[in-house]
Amino acid sequence: MIFDLDGVLLDSEQVWNQAKEQLVRERGGRWREEAPRDMMGMSSPEWSAYLRDELGVDLDPQAISDEVVRRLARIYREELPVLAGAVEAVERLAAHWPLGLASSSNREIIDLFLELSGLAPRFAVTISSEEVERGKPAPDVYLEAARRLEAEPSRCVAIEDSENGIRAAHAAGMRVLALPNPHYPPDPKALADADEVIGSLRELTPERVAGG
């Protein structure tokens, strides 16, 4: 069982975008309405380059990434935006299967989430898309999670909220449960790649995961 992080366990997509927008405007760049959707699923090297090349932030990509992560970490330490039912869902499923976390968040943010939530012992593996060649919608982060879990992708189940995440897990050959992000609803064509759509984490039961 492999979880996405942002939008599945954390109500954080808008927090990321606020931090990015603030940096763009402070550095004299040009924020675009479509930027949040364009960047959804990108790895940190990819969205940092996007902020520089497309939105005009006058810093190198590593400095952009470091600054956004610094701002986000400060917010998380003040109040971690855990979604209702997230901790319970992880605890429930960890009793049945090894769990993985496959996220577009930076490694520092993944580790901070695990520390602040107390869920680190529940995850057998955690992967950031900055640790693989390509971010979502490429399947790389999911394939690497399956490899580290020593599981065939076809025997893995992914829970995703965004269109690029759904496409990534589907391209990896996994069973995909979609929990549509209310802030950035997946495109209907991407949603069609999901094997099942659920309305909340409370519906994420062992029976649902197993396809029962």
pLDDT of residue 184: 84
Beta bridge partners of 126: 101
Architecture of domain 13-78: Orthogonal Bundle (1.10)
pLDDT above 80: residue 10: yes
Span 171-208, pLDDT tens digits: 999 999 999 988 888 989 999 999 999 999 999 999 99
Architecture of domain 2-11+82-209: 3-Layer(aba) Sandwich (3.40)
Spans of all domains in the chain: 2-11+82-209, 13-78
Full-model pTM: 0.91
pLDDT bin (cut points 50, 70, 90) of residue 155 is: very high
The Cα 167–Cα 136 span in angstroms is 8
pLDDT bin (cut points 50, 70, 90) of residue 212 is: low
Contact 89, 115 (CB under 8 A): no
Span 164-180, pLDDT tens digits: 999 999 999 999 999 99
Span 20-39, pLDDT tens digits: 999 999 999 999 999 998 99
